[in-house]
Structure 1
Amino acid sequence: MLGWLFFLTLLALVFIFWNRQQRATQLTLQAVRRHCSEEDLQLLDDTLELTGMRFRNGPGGWKLHRNYRFEFSSTGQERYQGRVILAGRRIIGLRLDAHRIH
């Protein structure tokens, strides 16, 4: 009985983490889309790649920092990379590689 309780608790925690990860990715993708639109850039593949996660201590306490990578184009010919850092539910950094301006 205790084994099943442990298993179900673990399964619930995994689901909660997965669900929050999905929401964080969607929040970040919306912000990247908005930024690319404001800069007259095209977000390629309309996807983000999670490149790392870690807990960091900051002014608001411990937060999970997620690092994402994405590709964009300014002319439709070349592919450039961008990076975004999400701390908790707040974007704390968005960087674009040097790119051509059309």
Structure 2
Amino acid sequence: MNLTLLDVCLIFAFFCFTLLAWQHFKIREYTLMRVKQQCSKLDLQMLDESIYGSYWRPVIERGQVKIKRRYQFYFTSTGEGRYQGEIEMIGMQQSHIHFDPHAM
């Protein structure tokens, strides 16, 4: 079996893409868990049990390149209103979480 340089490059690109996709899903699941914890702590109910990404961009933090991701979600406090929240992650670290003003 003879591998050309193109074959090696394609295999390498495939593995890099797979690694990046796996890391993205891992961070997304961790973020979902953090949102559920915060909602539980504040006695809020997370709606749809899902988050969706609004943007991501690379940032340099402490000399390392990391990805800053922002996810949005919906929650309710009384079961009637639907409010939006937002969480921002830098790598695996939560940088901030915001809940829109809501009825108690």
TM-score, scaled to structure 2: 0.92
Return the alpha-carbon distance in structure 1 between the equivalents of residues 24 and 54 of structure 2: 13
Unaligned runs of 5+ in 2: none
Alignment match, 2:96: 93
Alignment match, 1:10: 13
Identity between Structure 1 and Structure 2 (%): 28
Return the alpha-carbon distance in structure 2 between the equivalents of residues 42 and 60 of structure 1: 38
2:12 counterpart of 1:25 = no
Alignment match, 2:84: 81
2:38 counterpart of 1:35 = yes
Counting only pairs closer than 5 Å after superposition, residues 57-76 of structure 1 correspond to structure 2 as 57-59=60-62, 61-76=64-79
Alignment match, 1:44: 47
Structure (1/2) with the larger strand percentage? 2
Return the alpha-carbon distance in structure 2 between the equivalents of residues 59 and 93 of structure 1: 18
Deviates most, 51-60 or 87-96: 51-60
CA root-mean-square deviation: 1.1
Deviates most, 51-60 or 21-30: 51-60
Give the aligned length.
101
Task: Kindly name which structure, 1 or 2, has the bigger radius of gyration based on alpha carbons.
Answer: 2
Unaligned runs of 5+ in 1: none
